[in-house]
Amino acid sequence: MNIQQRSKSSFIPALAAVILGAVYMVFFLAAESELEVFGLLLGAGVVLLILRKMGVLDKIGRGASDNSMAFGACVAVAAAAISLYFYDDNFVLFLIGSVLAYTLTCLGLNIQFGFVGVVNFAGASFFGVGCYTAAILTKHTATPHLLILVLGGLAAAALGFLILVPVLKTRGHYAALVTIAFALLFKTFLEVNDTLGGPQGLKCDGLHILGWDFNTDIIIGSFEGSFYLGYIAVILVLCVLGFVFARRMEESWIGLNMDAVRLDETVSACFGLSIPTWKVAAFTVGNFYCGLAGAFYAMMLGYIAPTNFTFGDSLILLSIVILGGLGSSWGAVAATGIIILLPEKFQMLQEYRFLIFAALVIGILLFRPQGLLPRTLRSFAPLRSRQG
């Protein structure tokens, strides 16, 4: 049997893209006026169109997927480099940290929605569960902070399990209902509960790992860097781990089973898959991501309040997942950056962001439902690499 193996595409175009992208991000983040930002966006749009026409985008894509580990490493290094460039700009660094936290959250939502097909309309609420777990545990216990991060994830996962299990045997829209109800009631529940800080919210301690207080600026020799650099290091590591975990899951029997459940429950059942098991597995893992990100965010911000966890915020997270491309991990990364950073640079967008992003999602669902960076077909590449 003759199977042609396409030779590996060159990594050079992809590497160049990462480097140029990093430089672009530096300019973008440093831009002061809205005119500058608009110009940058226009420029990027034109360049991307030209590259697409020339087929270069395809080359970049293939180079990236054939050398996925190298590509991932380069992107992570680029993120670190960008952060180091802004070493004493607290505002930009906090923004980068937030974007990474939301990226982790959306990677989790991607597993729930993109892999197994369970829509979670309460992503922001599960994020909030992680936040409140961290706030309570740091203020009232001596639990080590790394463990608190994990506990934040577990709390969200456990709560998600509780609300999903009753509706597992029902149609898909009941899972939607349950998460919508949770999203709507979570904020109200927090506001009427004074033990959880009520409408004012709660303070949260900063991260302390092995005696190092992350809230102190980093001084090495003549280098004085913002304390946010430490936080970024942590969330970058968490993001990378979360990304790799999600991709591994996708390129394995687990990913196959989840896709099958999403695409056709009857057929899946006829071939032995337990539908509830896979839905619960994906939902729980996804919520763990949300809670973990939330716990981190609370410690980085130092303070949390119920107003961050509204239904509208959950819808924005979903918009990110849809914009990026359902089930696409790289899509989630790219889309998080776009949707979180743009309103920061265009202040007037902030007020209109719910409206604009809702309209954007409608547009995508109507005209390009596969999203910006559509999910690629499962090729089991990591398992095939050693085949003769």
Partner 1 sequence: MDLGLIAQHVVNGLMMGLIYALVAVGFTLFFGVLDIIKFSHGDVLTWGVFSALTVYIGLDIIGLHAPWLTLIIVTVVSMALIGALGALIAKVLILPLRKAPPLNVLLITLMLGTVLRESIRLFYPDGANPKRFPALLPDWSHTWGNFTLRFDNTVMLITGIALIVLVQVLIKRTKLGMAIRAVSQDEETARIMGINFNMVVFITFAIGSALAAYAGVTYGLYYNELSFNMGLLLGAIGFSAAAVGGFGNIYGAIVGGFLFAALQTIGAAALPFASAYKDVFAFGVVIMIMAFKPSGLLGEKETERV
Partner 2 sequence: MTLQTSLLSVQKLEKNFGGVKALADLNLEVGQNQIMGLIGPNGSGKTTFFNVLTGIYPVTSGKIYFEGHDITNFTPQKVYRAGVARTFQRSRLLLELSILDNILLGNHNRLNNGLWFNMFRRGALQQQFNDRLEKARELINIFDESLAGNIFEPVAKLPMISRRRIEICRALISRPKLLLLDEPSAGMTHDETFRLIDDILEIKSKVQNLTIIIIEHEMSVMERITDHCAVLNFGEKICEGTYEQVSSDKNVQEAYLGMD
Chain residues that interact with partner 2, rule: CB under 8 A: 1-3, 245, 248-249, 252-254, 256-257, 259-260, 263-264, 266-274, 281, 377-380, 382-384, 386-387
- Residue 269 interaction partner, one of partner 2, partner 1, none, beta carbon < 5-8 Å per kind: partner 2
358 interacts with, out of partner 2, partner 1, none, CB within 5 to 8 A per kind: partner 1
Rounded Cα gap, residues 28 and 7, in angstroms? 36
Measured torsion, CA atoms of residues 324, 328, 331, 336, in degrees rounded to the nearest 10: 70
Answer positive or negative: Cα dihedral of 375, 364, 76, 125: negative
Q: How many CA atoms lie within 13 A of 295 on its CB side?
A: 29
Picked from partner 2, partner 1, none, the partner binding residue 117 (CB below 5 to 8 A depending on kind) is partner 1
Give dist(CA 290, CA 130) in Å, integer.
Answer: 7
- CA pair distance 28, 85, nearest whole angstrom: 13
Size of the site for partner 1 (CB under 8 A): 42
Phi, psi of 208 (to 5 degrees): -130, 115
Which residues, 171 to 200, sit near partner 1 by CB under 8 A?
A: 171-174, 176-178, 180-181, 184-185, 188-189, 191-192
Which of partner 2, partner 1, none is residue 200 near (CB under 5 to 8 Å by kind)?
none
For partner 2, the closer of residues 116 and 229 by Cβ is: 116
Which is closer to partner 1, CB of 165 or CB of 244?
Answer: 165
Question: H or E segment at 196?
Answer: none
Per the DSSP assignment, residues forming a β-bridge with 209 are 212
Shortest Å, Cβ 214 to partner 1: 35
Q: Which of 67, 83, 226, 319 binds partner 1 (CB under 8 A)?
A: 319
342 lies in the binding site for partner 1 (CB under 8 A): no
Decide if residue 361 touches partner 1 (CB under 8 A).
yes
Residue 355: name its binding partner from partner 1, partner 2, none (Cβ under 5 to 8 Å by kind): partner 1
248 binds, options partner 2, partner 1, none, Cβ within 5 to 8 A by partner type:
partner 2
The CA distance from 55 to 155, in Å, is 47
322 contributes a contact to partner 1 by CB under 8 A: yes
Please report, as residue ranges, which positions from 104 to 123 form the binding site for partner 1 (by CB under 8 A).
117, 119, 121
Q: Residue 176 CB, nearest distance to partner 1 (Å)?
A: 6
Q: Determine the residue type at 18.
A: V
**157 vs 232, beta carbon nearer partner 2:** 157
Residue 14 and residue 75 in contact, taking contact as beta carbons nearer than 8 Å: no
Give φ, ψ of 223 to 5 degrees. Answer: -85, 125
Return the range that interacts with partner 1 (CB under 8 A); candidates 4-12, 27-35, 129-137, 168-176: 168-176
Spatial contact of 322 and 186, defined as CB atoms under 8 Å apart: no
Other residues' Cβ atoms within 10 Å of the Cβ of residue 336: 26
Structure tokens that stand for 367 in this block: 């005209």
97 or 108, CB closer to partner 1?
108
Question: How many angstroms separate the most distant Cα atoms in the chain?
Answer: 70
Q: Work out what residue 271 binds among partner 2, partner 1, none; the CB cut-off runs from 5 to 8 Å by kind.
A: partner 2
